[in-house]
Structure 1
Amino acid sequence: MHNIQKLAFGLLAAAAVASASDVEVLKKDTFDDFIKANDVVLAEFYAPWCGHCKALAPEYEDAATQLKDKGIKLAKVDCTEETDLCQQHGVEGYPTLKVFRGLDNVSPYKGQRKAAAITSYMIKQSLPAVSGVNKENLEDFKKADKVVLVAYVSPTDKASRDVFESVAEKLRDNFPFGFSNEVDLAEAEGVTQPAIVLYKDFDEGKSTFTAKFEVEAIEKFAKTASTPLIGEVGPETYSDYMSAGIPLAYIFAETPEERKELSEAIKPIAEAQRGVINFATIDAAAYGAHAGNLNLKADKFPAFAIQETVKNQKFPYDQEKKITHDDIKAFVDDFVAGKIEPSVKSEPIPETNDGPVAVVVAKNYEQIVLDDTKDVLIEFYAPWCGHCKSLAPKYEELGALYAKSEFKDKVVIAKVDATANDVPDEIQGFPTIKLYPAGAKDKAVTYSGARTVEDLIKFIAENGKYKAHVVEETEEASAAPAASESSTASAETAEETHDEL
């Protein structure tokens, strides 16, 4: 009897936890009505077997609870049960997150998969592109997010207001935007109309824009002023730094005290290079393996390196030398002046390379992948990646089919160990598969379908210059799911545990 009571109590407790969820579970017959009934909804399309979905679940629940009082709803759809609904909304991988403002206004969620990031992103989505601010609500608006922008513009200056509003529409996913035409409020904030003040909860607290209101100039100001002088690289900030469009200087150190000490020494350099190079510390105890991606030794810290993020080039600072202000300044100055050659990590070029899958290394990447006469399908893999190992025999089969087809001189199936070779592509996860079409190498297409021979053939035929289609010799069934799980390097845990960004 005691065991029955324990079981009953456990079931009741589980039911209580389930009912306490602030995430709405939607199905085909409830989805449309729920979207119509709410101004803004973040919907997650997921599969129960998806590892990334499982990792997202507690963060998503936390964000839903934080946003509940603000009237912002989070929902989820199980795509293994609601297949038609997920196909209707173009779901190709898990998890897929979309922001709905009604059924006809849908946009992809572009933030990080952490509770704080989801909350911040959705608050911005719930606000108008530009909110009116006044003496009564300005202080509250300043606290709406870590960074907010407020324009102080004269009531008669329609041109400046129009420019500001166009920037706000473009960057509404990044920042809350406020607007005031009160002269007294501008004076109280220490500016003369027209001006923009970027308020932030770090560094100097605010930055001011007083130049002519032009879209490009304001965008550049917002991007530069909103980036910490010396920030921190981690899972929540990495993609922002990679997409910033300027190089990133890493300061690796194992303790908070050491990171603070080095930051203070390098701070004047970061100030001088603001808008030219971003500077950030990185916890070498947690993410020391990332040093290897920058061609540094991953067991010798502190360390310093610069990554040219656009070209994915690496410039490691000599780890035998001490990190001092003067030496780092000289290194950074030489980098900016173009006096330092990038470090290139490459395996040796294979002596023979006539197998069904061409082996690419950094030293032959351009020769093979960028051969403008051929469609090249290339897999970026890691030796420890479980999904890559599962794909390997099917990928070899794919290569063999093309090697003995009429397209053998027009289509190349290739692979590269992206952990042992520097490649110009920024690879976010393994395996990543891309097609570089002949005659259009600047228009590579990333594959996101099921990892089957049949689907890869279809992808090559649809996206390559030669529309090369071959036929499988066997009709073996594939176990791959219809939609692929979004893959990040940190999710792959085969023989080793890899704590990567």
Structure 2
Amino acid sequence: MHTVQKLALGLLAAAAVASASDVEQLTKGNFDDFVKANDIVLAEFFAPWCGHCKALAPEYEEAATTLKEKDIRLVKVDCTEEADLCQQHGVEGYPTLKVFRGLDNVTPYKGQRKAAAITSYMIKQSLPAVSAVTKDTLEEFKKADKVVIVAYLDAADKASGEVLEKVAEKLRDNYPFGSSTDAALAEAEGVTAPAIVLYKDFDEGKSVFTEKFDVEAIEKFAKTAATPLIGEVGPETYSDYMSAGIPLAYIFAETPEERKELSELLKPIAEAQRGVINFATIDASAFGAHAGNLNLKADKFPAFAIQETVKNQKFPFDQEKAITHDDIKAFVDNFVSGKVDPSIKSEPIPETQEGPVITVVAKNYNDIVLDDTKDVLIEFYAPWCGHCKSLAPKYEELAALYAKSEFKDKVVIAKVDATANDVPDEIQGFPTIKMYAAGAKGEPVTYSGSRTIDDLIKFISESGTYKASVSEEAEESSATAAATESTSSEAAKETDHDEL
């Protein structure tokens, strides 16, 4: 066979392999039938230009191949081709992932966008809220995920069974739940009914709950026991730590050996504070820049800091000191006792406010944003953010409209550089826009619409206490200027499709 022929056949074979996919692409014509024909389906609604969708694609493919063996199907829908279908399912951004158990039972996917996380999440979704476990199936059930929970109950104890069902329904996205009424099996596992054993493939291997069955008590036990004593902060775990509801202590170090050494050194402290503070190492060579977000120097490691995740307060340990057991213990104990003041990063308060948009810094944040007499729309931005720069002239025009309106003393349009100032909110992307309504400062509303003046006015009117609405026509000259600029730059921005 000629070399050219061999090359052609090789390319054809490669193309065939490349085109093979365990992710089924659906259309409006076959979507409903496919969902009805399968017990559980994960659907990704995407757009070809979407960067996050491109990053997800190989992970989604890998998960689809693994899950196909378990009769869990992964599908995708191109919303640029199937706009009606995507609108029908309430898709507002890309990628949107939803779990279908038939067409009438649809829930949002709440897991991470990595193959292992997708696989783990969907396996949990495919199981009953509580699976019956026997001596023959227990060992296999323990391998269902990194963390599984099994309750050992007396068959006549209906009350404990009902509590377990409630907890399982609430936490089914997090852990597989099982139950057994076999007293001999409970004895073999070292417990007496009623009891719960959380099995895990890390730390001590299992944790036991023997207190009175109560939904909140079991939920607290599960979340505490399922968190590694000293875990690792990374892209896959960061959001879990942020949503845990308790502070996070970071141990920054540049090498695996140093992280292991520091973990062993601080392990007794982490054990004493279990359920009060989460401890985790973080790779300073890969994520050292995050130290700056905790008001640490981002070039001096190892380092230690505590973040109060609910209030987003930062408590950096003095980087001029060595990390020793005794010094970190004293620092942590003082933090728990409320004897450590948070570190606050702030730009100077502006001597004068220039322009209609009010500049907020950490030192005047409470005075302006939390002024309970005013509706405050605030943009959290970063100086390097291109989309923030594109928004700036429209945001200025929006502020000018309100400054010249009857609502000038009731509505504030503000901005804060979230990279240079500590703010109470955990900001996931830029720009982030929020409304702090008068009389409801504890419940800010995050804006998720398009970044046009009309839509921002509508948002202020709908989410603010004063229902303040102004007309864009009132600033006709500015609008004309903005329209002229948008002829080129605005069209380009709209096709960029930022997802943040």
TM-score bracket, shorter-length normalisation: over 0.9
- Aligned positions of 1:336-355 closer than 5 A: 336-355=336-355
Alpha-carbon distance between aligned partners in 1 of 2:447 and 2:141, rounded to the nearest angstrom: 42
Q: Which residue number in structure 2 is paired with residue 14 of structure 1?
A: 15
For residues 183 and 421 of structure 2, what CA distance do their matches in structure 1 show?
58
Could you tell me how far 1:431 is from its partner in structure 2? 1.2
Q: What displacement does 1:29 show?
A: 1.4
- Distance in 2, matches of 1:145 and 1:61, equals 20
- Following TM superposition, by how much is the alpha carbon of 1:2 offset from its aligned partner in structure 2, in angstroms? 9.2
The size of the alignment, in residue pairs, is 486
Q: Is the 8 A contact 2:41 2:73 kept in 1?
A: yes
Aligned to 2:113: 113
Does residue 446 of structure 2 align to residue 433 of structure 1? no
Query: Which residue matches 1:396?
Result: 396
| Distance in 2 separating the partners of 1:445 and 1:4 | 63
- 1:60 partnered with 2:73: no
- Following superposition of structure 1 onto structure 2, how do residues 160-239 of structure 1 map, counting pairs within 5 Å? 160-239=160-239
Report matched runs for 1:59-98 at 5 Å: 59-98=59-98
Distance 2:271 2:367 in 1: 41
- Matched with 1:240 is 240
Contact 1:450 1:482 in 2 (8 A): no
The answer to whether 1:486 aligns with 2:487 is no
SS of the aligned residue for 2:98 comes to strand
Paired with 2:451 and 2:79, the residues of 1 have a C-alpha distance of 18
SS of 1:93's partner is: coil
Change (3 A) 1:39 1:319: same
What CA distance in whole angstroms lies between the structure 1 residues aligned with 2:414 and 2:139?
A: 57
1:377 and 1:31 map into 2 onto residues whose CA distance is 41
Q: Identity over aligned residues, as a percent? A: 80
CA shift digits 1:406-451 (9 cap, x unpaired): 2222221111111110000011111111111122112211111112
Question: Could you tell me how far apart the structure 2 residues matched to 1:448 and 1:483 are?
Answer: 16
Inter-partner Cα distance in structure 2 for 1:82 and 1:436:
37
1:72 touches 1:126 (CA, 8 Å); kept in 2? yes
Q: Which moved more, 1:307-316 or 1:386-395?
A: 386-395
Shift of 1:13: 3.4
In structure 2, how many angstroms separate the alpha carbons of the residues matched to 1:434 and 1:271?
Answer: 38
Pair 1:286–1:483, CA change in 2 (3 A): closer
CA distance in 1, matches of 2:466, 2:302: 50
Task: Give the match for residue 410 of structure 1.
Answer: 410
Q: Which has the higher contact order (CA 8 A, sep 6+)?
A: 1
- Range 467-476 or range 148-157, more displaced: 467-476
Tell me which residue corresponds to 1:151: 151
User: Could you tell me how far 1:386 is from its partner in structure 2?
Assistant: 2.0
Question: What are the within-5 Å matches in structure 2 for residues 417-496 of structure 1?
Answer: 417-472=417-472, 473=476, 474=479, 476=483, 479=491, 481=494, 485-487=498-500
Contact persistence 1:259–1:281 (CA under 8 A): yes
What is the alpha-carbon distance in structure 1 between the residues aligned to residue 458 and residue 147 of structure 2? 45
Verify the 8 A CA contact 1:449 1:482 in the aligned structure 2. Answer: no
* Cα distance in structure 2, aligned partners of 1:368 and 1:3: 72
- State the match for 1:28 in structure 2: 28
Equivalent position of 1:303 in the other structure: 303
Q: Is the 8 A contact 1:23 1:75 kept in 2?
A: yes
Structure 1 residues 77 and 481, CA gap change in structure 2 (3 angstroms): farther
Q: Return the offset for 1:14.
A: 3.3
Aligned letter for 2:324? T
Q: Which residue of 1 aligns with 2:278?
A: 278
Instruction: Describe the shift of the 1:362–1:339 C-alpha distance in structure 2 as closer, same or farther (beyond 3 A).
Output: same
Contact 2:307 2:314 in 1 (8 A): yes
**Alpha-carbon distance in 2 for matches of 1:90, 1:254:** 44
Q: Which amino acid aligns with 1:55?
A: A
Q: CA deviation at 1:390?
A: 2.0
- 8 A contact 1:448–1:484 mirrored in 2: no
Between 61-70 and 143-152, report the one with greater CA deviation.
61-70
**How far apart are 1:397 and its partner, in Å?**
2.1
The TM-score normalised by the length of structure 1 is 0.93
8 Å contact from structure 1 (residues 92, 483) kept in 2: no
CA distance in structure 2 between the partners assigned to 1:483 and 1:181 by the alignment: 57
Q: In structure 2, what is the equivalent of residue 497 of structure 1?
A: none
Question: By how many angstroms is 1:12 displaced?
Answer: 6.3
1:94 match: secondary structure: coil
Backbone CA RMSD of aligned residues:
1.9
Contact 1:449/1:484 (<8 A) preserved: no
**Contact 2:50 2:497 survives alignment (8 Å):** no
Query: Are the counterparts in 2 of residues 254 and 285 from structure 1 also a CA contact under 8 Å?
Result: yes
Mean Cα deviation higher: 400-409 or 174-183: 400-409
Q: Structure 1 regions of 5+ residues with no counterpart? A: 488-501
Which stretch of the first structure deviates more once superposed, 365-374 or 141-150? 365-374
Q: 1:485, CA displacement in angstroms?
A: 4.4
Distance 1:46 1:162 in 2: 40
Task: Measure the CA separation in 2 of the matches of 1:269 and 1:58.
Answer: 40
Q: State the partner residue of 1:125.
A: 125
Q: Output the CA distance in 1 between the equivalents of 2:422 and 2:72.
A: 43
Q: Distance in 2 between matches of 1:99 and 1:331?
A: 45
Structure 2 residue 255 is matched with structure 1 residue 255 = yes
* Structure 2 unaligned spans of 5+: none
For residues 146-175 of structure 1, give each alpha carbon's deviation from its aligned partner in whole angstroms, at most 9, with x where no partner exists. 000000001011111111111000000000
Q: Which residue is 1:492 aligned to?
A: none
Give the drift of 1:186: 0.3
Superposed displacement of residue 481, structure 1? 4.8
Paired letter, 2:404: K
Where 1:28 maps in the other structure, the secondary structure is: coil
Q: Sort the Cα spacing of 1:481 and 1:130 in 2 relative to 1 into closer, same or farther, 3 A.
A: farther
Q: Which moved more, 1:391-400 or 1:368-377?
A: 391-400
Q: CA deviation at 1:380?
A: 0.8
Q: How many angstroms does 1:401 deviate by? A: 2.1
1:377 maps to 377
**Do 1:92 and 1:449's aligned partners in 2 also have CA atoms closer than 8 Å?**
no
CA change 1:377–1:296 in 2 (3 A) is same
* Structure 1 residue 392: Cα displacement: 1.8
Are the equivalent residues in 1 in contact too, given 2:356–2:396 (CA < 8 A)?
Answer: yes
